[in-house]
Amino acid sequence: MEETGAVFRKELVSKLLHLHFKDKKTKVSGDALQLMAELLKIFVVAAIRSVRQAQAEGLARVDVEQLEKVLPQLLLDF
Amino acid sequence: MTEEEEWSEEQQSFSYRQRLKAAVHYTVGCLCEEVSSDKDMQFSKQTIAAISEVTFGQCENFAKDLEMFARHAKRSTVNTEDVKLLARRSHSLVRDGFLSSLPFPIRIHYSQLITGIHEVIPPGHLALKMRHASTTQTCL
């Protein structure tokens, strides 16, 4: 299988997390940011692959209806 | 703070959120392109936008949980143990054989993530476990 090259940049992950922290003093270690970037990527790829699996054969476009079908299960897993 | 200053601050934080959402959208778009490049498949703009929205929204849950885990351990710095705890429920993705459909390098990182799963949650931590009980309806 090909290796996917797109990543969530650590800076972006940091900003995304800090946006929602209640305490200003909360920080995130570099390793934790790295793991979070992985987790987000896995989350997105899982969503993408869920949609693909739900896709009927022969269809060339994936639409929101497919995503809506698989999203509840995906969110429950997390 | 005057009303004007409040409004200006609100606008600034709104556009900051928008910029973050746009950055997420960009990364999600890149991932969609890569994952679908070998097949003859396109993702509609709405689908990419939908995945981005959900991802952005999930970050709020992730952030709040991580902060709570660190605080619970009497730390102010979130570390890898907190992230592993966050990923524990994704164990079900492994059970259902979902993992096998992920590209190989991601699978490796993923198993590294879940090796730190705590097997027993002591009764004292029940409150922590129940924190989502009142908010099971997530955005959809």
B43 bridge partner residues: A62
Report the alpha-carbon distance of residue B82 to residue B69 in Å, rounded: 6
End-to-end CA distance of chain B: 36
- The model carries a pTM of 0.69
For the stretch A10-38, pLDDT in tens is: 999 999 999 999 999 999 999 999 999 98
Q: Is B42 on the interface with A (CB under 8 A)?
A: yes
Pick from B27, B13, B11: which is nearest to A38 by CA? B27
Cα–Cα separations (whole angstroms), residue A61 to A6, A44, B43, B45, B124? 21, 18, 6, 10, 49
CA distance linking residue B139 with residue B137, whole number of Å: 7
CB A27 to CB B93 under 8 A? Answer: no
Structure tokens at A7: 């990543």
Mutate to test the interface with A, among B16, B37, B43 (most CBs of A within 10 A): B43
Q: Does B114 touch chain A (CB under 8 A)?
A: no
What are the tens digits of pLDDT across the range B69-112? 999 999 999 999 999 888 876 654 444 444 444 444 444 455 55
**How many whole angstroms separate alpha carbon B93 and alpha carbon A46?**
9
ipTM value:
0.75
